[in-house]
Structure 1
C-alpha cells in the first residue's frame, strides 16, 4: 500500500508542476478551434499566457524568484526561435501584431514552461544534487550546447559529441528528491533523457494544434522527428544548469545572511 501512496504523491507533485505547460497546450487547443474577436490568434495566446503567469504568481503557485528564472528562459528561447525561423527550421505562418522578425512573442513561453516545471518540481520534491561538476564545467558545457543550436547550420553539428561530453561531465551527478518522508535518487543523465522525451511528446501536441509548423508539416500534420529528442535532451541540460546554479547562489546567500545574524 505504501508504494501506491508514494506514487500518488509523486504523481500529484508532477501534475502540479506541469500547470503552466498544460495551460499552454490548452490555450493552443482552444484557440485552434475558437476564434477570439478582434485579436489575431498569436496575440490572444500571448495575452492568455501572461494572464496565467500573473494568476500563478498571485496565487502563490510561483514565487518572484521563479518568475525571474522563467523570464530568463523566455529571452533565451525567443532569441533561438528568431534564429531558427530565419534559418527556415520551422515557421509561424499566421499573422499577429506581437511578432518579432516573424516570431510571435508567445513562443518564448514554450521554453519558459520548461523552466517553470524545473522550478516547481525542484521546490515540491525538495530536490538537491550530489556530485555537481561545479560552476565552470557546467556553464562551459551549457554554453557550448546553446551555441551549437546556432552554429550547426554552417559548421558540423557537434550534438553527439556534446551528448558524450554530458555523460562524462555529469556521470557522478545524482538528483536527490523527497516524497513525503522518503528520500530517493536518480542519475541526472537519466532525468535528462526522461524529460527530453516528454518535451518531444509535448512538441507533437503543440504542432498538432498549429503552435508552429516544421517544413514537413506545411501540408498536413505528422509526428515530429525522433531526432528532436536529442535536441530537447540537450536543451533540458541548459535548463537544469541554469536552475541549479541559481538555486546554489540563493542557498549561499541565505547561509551568508544567517551567519551575519
Structure 2
C-alpha cells in the first residue's frame, strides 16, 4: 500500500507540472475511484468474458468458474496487501448479508439465476455473495484511498435504526406495505448536512453524502445491466435484452445506506474524527490560490 501511495504522489506531481490544476485533480479523482473499484471491475469483466466464451458442454459450469475466480481474486488482493484485514472483515459482513438477501429474493421470485451449477444452494450460486462483497470492497477501499471523514454525522444509533429498517423492508414488503418512500425521506433528513470529506494530494474536498449515494447507485445500476445483459441473472418478467428498471437504482440507493452503516461498524473509530479543523484552512488557502 505504501508503494501505491508513492505512485499516486509521483503521478500527481507529474500531472500538476503539465496540466491545469482543476483537470489534474479531476483525473486523479477518477483514477483513485477506479483503483477503489478494482475487485468489482474484475468481477464485471469476468461476467462479460465468461458469457462470451463459455459453452454449456464444458465440464465446469460458468457459475462455478466465477466462484473460483472471485475467491482467487480476493485471496490475491490479500496476499499482495492491496486489502487490509479490516477491509476483509467488512467484505465478510457484506457477503453474509448479501447472500441472505439473495436466498430470500430468488425464492420469492424477484430474480433468478438461469444457468446450472454445482455450487448452487436453493437456486442461488455461491459466487453471488461476492457481488455484494465487491460493494463492500469498494466502500472500504475508497475510504482508505481518499482518507475519507464524515462530518457532521448524525447520532450513530439513528443510522443503525435506519439501516435496519431499510434491510428489513427489502424482505417485509413482500408481505406488508412497502415503506421505501418514507425511507428515502429518512435518508435526507438524517444525512442532509453530512459531508464526505476526501483528499486528493494535499487538498481536501467535500460532497454531500446523499449526492454521493445517488451517484454510486447510478453506477451500480449500470453494473446491474451488465449482469442481466450477460444473462448472469434475470429479473422476473425481463430478458437479457431489457434494460434494468430504474426502480433498481432506488433500491441500490437505499442499500448503500445499509452498506455504509455496515462499514461504520468496523471503521467507527476513524471515520468520524472532526475534519473541519483540517479542511477549513486548506480550503481557504486553495480559494486564495484560485482567486
Aligned length: 251
Residue 157 (1) aligns with residue 157 (2): no
User: In structure 1, what is the equivalent of residue 26 of structure 2?
Assistant: 7
Q: Is the 8 A contact 1:17 1:120 kept in 2?
A: yes
Distance in 2, matches of 1:30 and 1:224, equals 20
Distance in 1, matches of 2:271 and 2:254, equals 26
Residue 135 (1) aligns with residue 156 (2): yes
SS in 2 for 1:177: strand
User: In structure 2, what is the equivalent of residue 223 of structure 1?
Assistant: 243
User: In structure 2, what is the equivalent of residue 103 of structure 1?
Assistant: 124
Q: For residues 104-119 of structure 1, what are the structure 2 equivalents within 5 Å?
A: 104-119=125-140
Shift, 1:217, TM fit: 2.6
Aligned CA RMSD, in angstroms, stands at: 1.4
Distance in 2, matches of 1:201 and 1:229, equals 9
Q: Is the 8 A contact 1:74 1:112 kept in 2?
A: yes
Residue 17 (1) aligns with residue 36 (2): yes
Distance in 1, matches of 2:271 and 2:215, equals 27
| Moved >6 Å (runs of 4+) | none
Residue from 31, 41, 65 that aligns with 2:50:
31
SS in 2 for 1:62: coil
Q: Is the 8 A contact 2:195 2:209 kept in 1?
A: yes
User: In structure 2, what is the equivalent of residue 86 of structure 1?
Assistant: 107
Consecutive unaligned residues in structure 2, runs of 5 or more:
1-19, 273-291
Q: Is the 8 A contact 1:70 1:113 kept in 2?
A: yes
- Give CA-to-partner distance per residue, 1:215-257, whole Å, 9 cap, x none: 2234x521000111110000111111121332114679xxxxx
Q: Is the 8 A contact 1:135 1:245 kept in 2?
A: no
Distance in 2, matches of 1:240 and 1:57, equals 22
Residue 73 (1) aligns with residue 94 (2): yes
TM-score (normalizing by structure 2):
0.83
Q: For residues 138-217 of structure 1, what are the structure 2 equivalents within 5 Å?
A: 138-217=159-238
